[in-house]
Amino acid sequence: MSLLDSIYGTVVRAKNALHERGTLRARRLQGPVVSIGNLAVGGSGKTPFVIALGELLKSRGVEFDVLSRGYGRTTSGVRAVDPHGKAAEFGDEPLLIARRLGVPVVVGEKRYEAGLFAEAQFGVRLHLLDDGFQHRALARDLDIVLVNASDFEDRLLPGGRLREPLTALKRAHVVVLEENVPYPARRLGRKTIWRLRRGVSLPPVPPRVAAFCGVARPERFFGQLRTAGVVAAVEIPFPDHHPYTEKDVRDLLAIREEKNCGGFVTTEKDVINLEEYAGRMAPLVPATVTMDLLDREAILSLLLAQIPTLAAAL
């Protein structure tokens, strides 16, 4: 562990200790809160998980909203996401959630204030707190944490990708692992484990494409494309939440011509960040990152047990 890692870890532990002792108090909304978070910086699949859990709740008639920080937006304060808006206004992931789920999504640096706004505008209902594990200023009824296999061997920031050590999982009610990741009981203890299956869904793809994306773990997306049978002539990674520019588009078009590609394939999130340029890049095929929850009834049962106010809806 480097000196910077050690300093970062000391700060994280000190902040968590203040919460544990009650020196820093979490404020509670009227509606129940289910937090979806992770330990590592980016790439755990929080947004697809929020969408998958939201679709499950919608199928049972549960009314809910989503509270998000709105990472990457150029605006500030509390704002209700307009599904027809732009990523710069609300953030690419909140915009994607609003479009896919068709429920209220509210962004705000302080999620408690976002929740108050949501309850005033849309009524008291269940709140899904996006990327909420480290946002302890807002009280939650259920903490769901997505864990990647690589997290078990990773280090704290800045030397690694972990925002908190694995011991922080003691706060979690549920740990979510992919179906093929072994359950390390020694590291996780007696936690409730949910399993999921990742993949991508694609419309018809030209026979020769250029693949690109601006996500936290681009190698995972490119691997999912290969698993789906898409063999790209070139794979081009950009930084996560990348705000595409005129130069980026010119460079991509030049690569497409150089590699003699019939089109592009990228993620839904990247299509949102590319909207003003998308027409120039046709055919631009959006790949939907899918996340299948493997035991839906068990998930609903736990939600019901943990949040009794949902009983009437479920």
Six-digit token pair at 214?
């601006």
Rounded to 10 deg, the angle between the 46-59 and 296-306 helix axes is 80
Q: Would the pTM of this model clear 0.85, i.e. be above it?
A: yes
Q: Give the confidence band of 134 by pLDDT, cuts at 50, 70, 90.
A: very high
Examine the domain organization and report whether 17 and 128 are in the same domain. Answer: yes
- Domain span holding position 244: 200-291
Average pLDDT, the chain: 92
Q: What is the CATH number of the domain that holds 140?
A: 3.40.50.300
Examine the domain organization and report whether 27 and 95 are in the same domain. Answer: yes
Examine the domain organization and report whether 146 and 50 are in the same domain. Answer: yes
Examine the domain organization and report whether 206 and 154 are in the same domain. Answer: no
Examine the domain organization and report whether 177 and 239 are in the same domain. Answer: no
Examine the domain organization and report whether 224 and 109 are in the same domain. Answer: no
CA angle 72, 165, 29 (to 5 degrees): 55
Q: What is the CATH number of the domain that holds 210?
A: 3.40.50
Give pLDDT tens digits for 153-209: 999 998 899 999 999 999 999 999 999 888 887 777 788 999 999 999 999 999 899
Examine the domain organization and report whether 169 and 224 are in the same domain. Answer: no
Examine the domain organization and report whether 116 and 248 are in the same domain. Answer: no
pLDDT for 146 beyond 60: yes
Q: Give the confidence band of 5 by pLDDT, cuts at 50, 70, 90.
A: low
pLDDT for 313 beyond 60: no
Give pLDDT tens digits for 229-278: 998 999 999 999 999 999 999 999 999 999 999 999 999 999 999 988 98
Examine the domain organization and report whether 285 and 301 are in the same domain. Answer: no
- Secondary structure (3-state) at 145: strand
Total domains in the fold of the chain: 2
Examine the domain organization and report whether 173 and 211 are in the same domain. Answer: no
Q: Where are the beta strands (DSSP E) in 49-114?
A: 64-68, 79-80, 105-107
In angstroms, rounded to a whole number, what is the distance separating the alpha carbons of residues 299 and 314?
Answer: 12
